[in-house]
Amino acid sequence: MKQQTFAAVAGSALLVPVLVSAGTAEYLTRAAVDREPPRSFARRREKAKPMPDPALDSARERLRQSPHQRVEISAYDGTRLTGHWFPHPDAKRVIVAIHGWRSHWYRDFGAISEFWKEQGCSVLYVEQRAHDTSGGQHMTYGAVERYDCQAWLCWACKRCGLKLPIYLAGVSMGATTVLMAGALSLPGNLRGIIADCGFTSADEIWCHLARDSLHMPYRMVRRFANAKYLRRTGQTSGLSTVDALKNCQLPVLLIHGEADDFVPPEMSRRNEKACAGQKRLVMVPGAGHGMSSFVGKELYEQELLAFWAAHDADSGEPGQQPV
């Protein structure tokens, strides 16, 4: 009888951390993946917002309110996706711009949008799935979104033809998305990828944020979180930009703020080392997460000009358009 009682108590004691870990994993997964995060998480994010910068906020609002064409396409899985098309009357190139996690197209590209316009860029600003008016209920940190890039590139090629050079550009999760897309079958007039403060994988960024921002031992909940992520999305959290870049022959421009405390700059260094094709890594002094184009405006713009000058006229026959 005593042995049975001891076994029951011991079993209960072992069950407690399991239940706690499972509950924590559910909260983290909802916060990381679901279109609608937990209310407490949303409140925490609101409180953690940086102090507003009038110049940056003004640039974002100008972009949001500028006249443009709203477009829709269907992703490979039938999800309706929304984009915002800003054609240039004398376009030199086309940019497909992908925003970051729980962000907005005008927020992440407000600081650079005027420069793109001045330099003759037609720009398609994409609303990522599970954001704003695009469909979908879950974010997959590039695993599914990379195929959305294929679909948007197909739209851009049909709209603009195959002669204009095209570039993929992304910030944060958008950067991870475009880097992962680099290993897919893409049109031949895609000249390069511009990735600003991208992370390497869902699993690694969750581990970093849990440890450094939430101060919790991620190893305790990793198994539960990965299982919940797989159940929600059908994807595994280990899909990595590092693996994708080993199979990407496109030129890649990597940019990262040295003061980024959300995505470690080391992740861009690892991405740079993994690139199979031409690559350049630019570290922007004093720039926080997603702020390089604003804080390091002159350096950022110089690097873009050099990247375009090097690759706009790259030779090669256009390849198959993505389906």
The predicted-structure confidence for 210-255, as pLDDT tens digits, reads as follows: 877 666 777 778 888 899 999 999 999 989 999 999 999 999 999 9
Residue-wise over 171-189: b if at least 16 C-beta within 10 A, else e? Answer: bbbbbbbbbbbbbeebbeb
Instruction: Choose among 25, 189, 20: nearest CA to 95.
Output: 189
Residue 170 CB-density burial (10 A; 0-12 exposed, 13-18 middle, 19+ buried): buried
Sign of CA dihedral 215, 287, 99, 264: negative
d(CA 135, CA 155): 17
Domain boundaries, the chain: 1-49+202-238, 51-201+239-323
The mean pLDDT value for 124-132 works out to 98
Q: Which residues contact 171 (CB under 8 A, 6 or more apart)?
A: 98, 99, 100, 103, 108, 109, 196, 197, 290
Contact (Cβ atoms closer than 8 angstroms) between residue 194 and residue 169: yes
pLDDT at 321: 40
| Percentage with pLDDT > 90 across the chain | 76
- For 51-201+239-323, the fitting CATH number among 3.90.1150.10, 2.60.120.10, 3.40.50.460, 3.40.50.1820 is 3.40.50.1820
The mean pLDDT value for 130-140 works out to 98
Q: Which residues pair with 201 in a beta bridge?
A: 240
d(CA 52, CA 68): 26
**Residue 214 has what DSSP assignment?**
S
Structure tokens that stand for 179 in this block: 């880097």
The mean pLDDT value for 193-219 works out to 87
Distance from first CA to last CA of the chain, Å, rounded?
67
d(CA 237, CA 233): 10
SS3 189: coil
- Geometric angle at alpha carbon 190, from 86 and 72, rounded to 5°: 40
Cite the beta strand spans of the chain per DSSP E: 69-74, 80-86, 93-98, 121-127, 166-171, 190-196, 252-257, 279-284
- Does the pTM of the predicted model rise above 0.85? yes
User: In the predicted model, is pLDDT for residue 1 greater than 70?
Assistant: no
Amino acid (one-letter) located at 319: G
Contact (Cβ atoms closer than 8 angstroms) between residue 105 and residue 96: no
The mean pLDDT value for 89-118 works out to 98
Chain centroid, CA 189 distance in Å: 22
Q: Which residues pair with 192 in a beta bridge?
A: 167
d(CA 262, CA 282): 18
Chain centroid, CA 207 distance in Å: 17
Report pLDDT digits (tens) over 54-72: 999 999 999 999 999 999 9
Place of tokens 């509950």: 23
pLDDT at 211: 79
Contact (Cβ atoms closer than 8 angstroms) between residue 306 and residue 196: no
User: In the predicted model, is pLDDT for residue 19 greater than 90?
Assistant: no
User: In the predicted model, is pLDDT for residue 15 greater than 80?
Assistant: no
